Chain A
Amino acid sequence: MDSKPAWAEMGLTAEEYARICDLLGREPNYLETGLFAVLWSEHCAYKNSKPVLKLFPTTGPRVIQGPGENAGIVDIGDGQAVVFKIESHNHPSAIEPYQGAATGVGGIVRDIFTMGARPIASLNSLRFGSLDDAKVRYLCGGVVAGIAGYGNCIGIPTVGGEVSFHPSYTENPLVNAMCVGLVEHKDIRLGRAAGVGNLVMLVGARTGRDGIHGCTFASEELSEESEQRRPAVQVGDPFMEKLLIEACLEVIRGNYIVGIQDLGAAGLTSSSAEMAGRAGTGLELDVSLVPRREKGMTPYEVMLSESQERMLLVLEPDKEEPVRKIFEKWGLEAVVIGRVTGDGIYRVRDGKTVVAEVPVKALTDGAPVYHRLGREPAYYREKKNQPVDTVPVPEDLGQVLLQLLADPNIASKEWVYRQYDHMVMTNTVVRPGADAAVLRVKGTGKGIALTTDGNSRYCYLDPYRGGMAAVAEAARNLSCVGAEPIGLTDCLNFGNPEKPGIFWQFEEAVKGMSEACRVLEIPVVSGNVSFYNETEGEAIYPTPVVGMVGLLPDIARRCTPDFKDPGDKILLLGGFSPELGASEYLALVHKIEAGRVPGLDLDLEKRVQACCRSLVREGLIKSAHDCSEGGLAVALAECSINGNVGALLEVEIEGRPDAFLFGEVQSCIVITCVPRDLAQVEAAAREKSVPYRLLGEVGGERLVIREASGRALIDQPVGEMRRVWQESIGNYF
């Protein structure tokens, strides 16, 4: 028998428990302890990350709502705004991949429509171990099916994202789900329980025993015992969610409610306490009124249940009837379970009996903030200084290119995204597979572009540069389609922050991201921190993921990565100085993960992106694709494969040919234009002080890269490249 006290079982430390006793002036009862345990968990309180997150720039002329609400809001003109956020569902997905991923989608979608916005797109960023491992294939297949099963049913297109593979995620996959919504300014709603005497109404699904202490589970490491946490994983009902979206948007648009919030982590407890906390009010709830899925539930179980597809509304008393009618029309329950009070107390009753009574502020703002100690881990300098240019240059570089194209990290992700409905709502103008997805905004000439990015190898080898690169690459991807980056949401996936080496990774990555955001002028408007991604003491690679939204003022002026027509000139924008260090090539072919992460000059990056965007807007270029994993050769191959046309490039090699072809570099974009526009394109680059070089031209059925001497380094048929690139991931299943 375990003889740990209840508070320790619930994840509180002795100091935290003492602090609660101080705040209350007495010992909390069992239910009260539970309330504190969930609201003070890392997942809800960000107690380990708060001081570091303050580094992010969060303001800008377009920002309507920054961090602190359910999602961030950024203006896109014409009285419209986009609402977006990314969130992790890593631990549930490690235990039960289908439901873990499905409920991850459901949760983030609720975060968006709770702000009054109609969700218009989902994205996701996924990390798994190697597909050679059968368990990993089970996790990967399950996660993808879960995202599809939920997202397809609710009718929100899954338009983009990323999937990558590395052994550090074998037991602890990452499932980060992002949702984007569109809202008229006048329909924006916040999660506030304002107005003393107003009613608190619970709508949607009934409350069951599922997911109790899910957020506490998310705030600890995975272990053998995690399997026993399976009951902490919730089960999703996308049909209920779809009804909830329609009903909630109907009451919001009809102006029937004062505040609204979804029940996510820590269920009724966190949603109600946070709503009261933001409004500076008190709240009284009667758990006996909560509709239940099963008999005999205790107040503790009702308050901490993480049953999905539930929302909490705050409304004026005379709106109860019309609101109830709207929910009834959609076949949903809507029950008043409490009211807003003016005493700042969070009071829970079970019928006539008061079962918990604590100050709201103690729950929402009383959590301790830990200034953890970061210390550079031993591996850092050793890996960074490890010489990598001693590896032999492979003889057949064409074979290396095919090997890279077949690498699941680089190969086509069609096997994944063809399982997602990415076209419903008929806004998807640029589909998955491009640098960024582009959606039209019906009724306007505008478009929005969406992407998620992150390179965990870079972050492992140099978290500062890796953090910068994640932001820069996301912004570059948006610029490649012609969109101006207008806001960012982040999902920071790390190991146990109580370990100094992990905390150092976290701090450095956030510093790097913040610096890039500052220089590129992209505000962070929402985000999520996921710590404790460790299995038996082994952490994942540090994985900050960036979700970014861009705006296209005129959607007719957009760009895609594929080569278009024979004869088009191919140029490279940006300073080209590829690095072997930290490259996918080095890891895949030479089995080395070390060396220096490619340098990033943010001022140059900014100029390159601005140049690319203006070329797209002036209609001067026909394609744009950034150089990332796999280097220049892979970027060119992707342009050829997608355009189903070859290219002939003549290059002057500086240094090793493998580094030139497959080494990685920042701030570089492959563009094409018709010959008659070449002079204008070059002039535009010069005017913006952007270095560029002419590489060759589009045409034929092969990708040929040769030296000035005439020696071919690469000479591959496009069809063969497409075959290995397209079939690779599917072949594992």
Chain B
Amino acid sequence: MKFGVVVFPGSNCDMDCYHVIDQVLGHPVEYIWHREQGLAGYDCVILPGGFSYGDYLRTGAIARFAPLMDAVSAFAARGGLVLGICNGFQILLEAGLLPGAMRRNDSLQFRCHDVYLRVENANTPFTNRYRPGQVIRMPIAHGEGNYYADPETLAELNREHRIIFRYCTGDGDVAPEANPNGSLENIAGICNKDGNVLGLMPHPERCSEEILGYDDGKALFMSVLHWWGLKREREVVARG
């Protein structure tokens, strides 16, 4: 399975994502420059964290116009896996690949620390190696992670089980005190209708190796590999 890590000017978690795919998972991965126009040959595309174009206007607001983003939309429409982490999530929102918007953290400060997350839906290409309701840890590092969506969208996300991660306490309680940024309903990550596009604010690539403290993020990447393996099997069976 081949991964691509998109590099926008100002991306700064691109090397970290590359490292995890290459060194931890041992799978093929390439950087994809923002000016490229196609994504042929890739199976999963990661939009990494950072400050694309400096994020001087609104996070992700410029990056959505990058030449590559049309290809990302088409890739997603074909069922390709798209993972947006932090700034990548913000870009997916601006690009309309995921619903809703980000506001500044309610603290009005950048926040970098570990959070607990509850896995709300373990039946996606990105979460199938977690247990439903499992409480995991991941670091956050953002100034604008305060997720907002109108009530109809929110109801739809809930109804369709598209809220994938919520901030919670260590005991799994989705409580206001566990919310690091003011996000509606403690939302930390959501997916699209088909489940092949995931955006999340926490950084799984920062917790995929024991030496960094814990490796709860690794299962997210392992989920992608697992899902891909099953898909391949189905395809082989279908072709007979």
Q: Do A and B come from one complex?
A: yes
B173 interface residue (CB < 8 Å to A): no
| A227-248, CB < 8 A from B | 237-240, 242-243
Q: Are B141 and A424 in contact (CB under 8 A)?
A: yes
Q: Are A242 and B110 in contact (CB under 8 A)?
A: no
**Complex: how many Å from CA A237 to CA B110?**
18
Q: Are B111 and A419 in contact (CB under 8 A)?
A: yes
B227 interface residue (CB < 8 Å to A): no
A555 interface residue (CB < 8 Å to B): yes
Residues of chain A lying within 8 A (CB to CB) of residue B15: 425
B50 interface residue (CB < 8 Å to A): yes
| A213-232, CB < 8 A from B | none
B12 interface residue (CB < 8 Å to A): yes
B112 interface residue (CB < 8 Å to A): yes
CB-contact partner of B212 in A239, A420, A428, under 8 A: A428
Expressed in whole angstroms, the minimum distance between the Cβ of B177 and any Cβ of chain A is 14
Residues of chain B lying within 8 A (CB to CB) of residue A240: 54
Residues of chain A lying within 8 A (CB to CB) of residue B206: 423-424, 426
Q: Are A424 and B16 in contact (CB under 8 A)?
A: yes
Q: Are B51 and A153 in contact (CB under 8 A)?
A: yes
Q: Are B12 and A422 in contact (CB under 8 A)?
A: no
Tell me whether A423 and B12 are in contact in the complex, defined as CB-CB below 8 angstroms, given that A442-B19, A555-B211 are known contacts: no
Residues of chain A lying within 8 A (CB to CB) of residue B112: 152, 417-423
**Complex: how many Å from CA A421 to CA B50?**
11
**Complex: how many Å from CA A417 to CA B111?**
9
Residues of chain A lying within 8 A (CB to CB) of residue B19: 426, 442
| B206-240, CB < 8 A from A | 206, 209, 211-213
CB-contact partner of A421 in B53, B141, B211, B212, under 8 A: B141
Interface size class of A (residues with CB under 8 A): 20 to 34
Tell me whether A243 and B16 are in contact in the complex, defined as CB-CB below 8 angstroms, given that A152-B51, A421-B141 are known contacts: no
Expressed in whole angstroms, the minimum distance between the Cβ of A90 and any Cβ of chain B is 23
A268 interface residue (CB < 8 Å to B): no
CB-contact partner of B56 in A239, A414, A417, under 8 A: A239
Q: Are B205 and A155 in contact (CB under 8 A)?
A: no
A624 interface residue (CB < 8 Å to B): no
Q: Are B51 and A331 in contact (CB under 8 A)?
A: no
Q: Are B205 and A426 in contact (CB under 8 A)?
A: yes
Expressed in whole angstroms, the minimum distance between the Cβ of A695 and any Cβ of chain B is 28
Expressed in whole angstroms, the minimum distance between the Cβ of A689 and any Cβ of chain B is 35
Residues of chain B lying within 8 A (CB to CB) of residue A570: none
Residues of chain A lying within 8 A (CB to CB) of residue B141: 152, 421, 423-424
Q: Are B10 and A424 in contact (CB under 8 A)?
A: no
Residues of chain A lying within 8 A (CB to CB) of residue B113: 414, 418
B21-41 near A? 1/0 per residue, CB < 8 Å: 001000000000000000000
Total contacts A-B at CB 8 Å: 83
**Complex: how many Å from CA A685 to CA B23?**
40
Residues of chain A lying within 8 A (CB to CB) of residue B153: none
Q: Are B54 and A153 in contact (CB under 8 A)?
A: yes
Q: Are A425 and B16 in contact (CB under 8 A)?
A: yes
B170 interface residue (CB < 8 Å to A): no
B108 nearest CB neighbor, chain A only:
A145
| B191-211, CB < 8 A from A | 203, 205-206, 209, 211
A151 nearest CB neighbor, chain B only:
B110
Expressed in whole angstroms, the minimum distance between the Cβ of A687 and any Cβ of chain B is 31
A420 nearest CB neighbor, chain B only:
B112
**Complex: how many Å from CA A420 to CA B110?**
7
Residues of chain A lying within 8 A (CB to CB) of residue B55: 153, 239
Tell me whether A155 and B13 are in contact in the complex, defined as CB-CB below 8 angstroms, given that A421-B141, A426-B205, A440-B211 are known contacts: yes
A678 interface residue (CB < 8 Å to B): no
Expressed in whole angstroms, the minimum distance between the Cβ of B165 and any Cβ of chain A is 18
Q: Are A419 and B56 in contact (CB under 8 A)?
A: no
Q: Are A419 and B10 in contact (CB under 8 A)?
A: no
A330 interface residue (CB < 8 Å to B): yes
Q: Are A155 and B12 in contact (CB under 8 A)?
A: yes
B15 nearest CB neighbor, chain A only:
A425
B109 interface residue (CB < 8 Å to A): yes
**Complex: how many Å from CA A148 to CA B143?**
10
| B125-140, CB < 8 A from A | 139
Residues of chain B lying within 8 A (CB to CB) of residue A428: 212
Q: Are A419 and B205 in contact (CB under 8 A)?
A: no
B51 nearest CB neighbor, chain A only:
A153
Q: Are B109 and A242 in contact (CB under 8 A)?
A: no
**Complex: how many Å from CA A419 to CA B113?**
9
Q: Are A237 and B54 in contact (CB under 8 A)?
A: yes
A558 nearest CB neighbor, chain B only:
B211
A539 interface residue (CB < 8 Å to B): no
**Complex: how many Å from CA A152 to CA B203?**
14
Residues of chain B lying within 8 A (CB to CB) of residue A420: 110, 112
**Complex: how many Å from CA A192 to CA B213?**
43
Q: Are B9 and A331 in contact (CB under 8 A)?
A: yes
Q: Are B9 and A239 in contact (CB under 8 A)?
A: yes
| A141-199, CB < 8 A from B | 145, 148-149, 152-155
**Complex: how many Å from CA A75 to CA B104?**
43
A330 nearest CB neighbor, chain B only:
B9
A429 interface residue (CB < 8 Å to B): yes
Residues of chain A lying within 8 A (CB to CB) of residue B50: 155
Residues of chain A lying within 8 A (CB to CB) of residue B111: 418-419
Tell me whether A153 and B10 are in contact in the complex, defined as CB-CB below 8 angstroms, given that A239-B53, A426-B206 are known contacts: yes
Residues of chain B lying within 8 A (CB to CB) of residue A555: 211
A148 nearest CB neighbor, chain B only:
B110
Q: Are B212 and A426 in contact (CB under 8 A)?
A: yes
**Complex: how many Å from CA A529 to CA B177?**
45
B54 nearest CB neighbor, chain A only:
A239
Residues of chain B lying within 8 A (CB to CB) of residue A425: 15-16
Expressed in whole angstroms, the minimum distance between the Cβ of B17 and any Cβ of chain A is 9
B211 nearest CB neighbor, chain A only:
A429
**Complex: how many Å from CA A419 to CA B105?**
12
CB-contact partner of B10 in A149, A239, A440, under 8 A: A239
B17 nearest CB neighbor, chain A only:
A426
Known A-B contacts: A238-B54, A423-B203, A424-B206. Give 20 more (CB < 8 A). A148-B110, A149-B110, A152-B141, A153-B55, A155-B12, A155-B13, A155-B50, A238-B51, A239-B10, A239-B53, A242-B9, A242-B12, A414-B113, A419-B110, A419-B111, A420-B112, A421-B110, A423-B112, A424-B49, A428-B212
Chain A residues near B (Cβ < 8 Å)? 145, 148-149, 152-155, 237-240, 242-243, 330-331, 414, 417-426, 428-429, 431, 440, 442, 555
Chain B residues near A (Cβ < 8 Å)? 9-10, 12-13, 15-16, 19-20, 23, 49-51, 53-56, 109-113, 139, 141, 143, 203, 205-206, 209, 211-213
The 7 closest A-B pairs by CB, nearest first: A155-B12, A239-B54, A153-B51, A421-B141, A426-B16, A421-B112, A148-B110
A-B contact pairs, 24 of them (CB 8 A): A148-B110, A149-B110, A152-B51, A153-B10, A153-B12, A153-B54, A155-B13, A237-B54, A239-B10, A239-B54, A239-B56, A242-B9, A242-B12, A330-B9, A331-B9, A414-B113, A419-B111, A419-B112, A420-B110, A423-B141, A423-B203, A424-B13, A425-B16, A429-B213
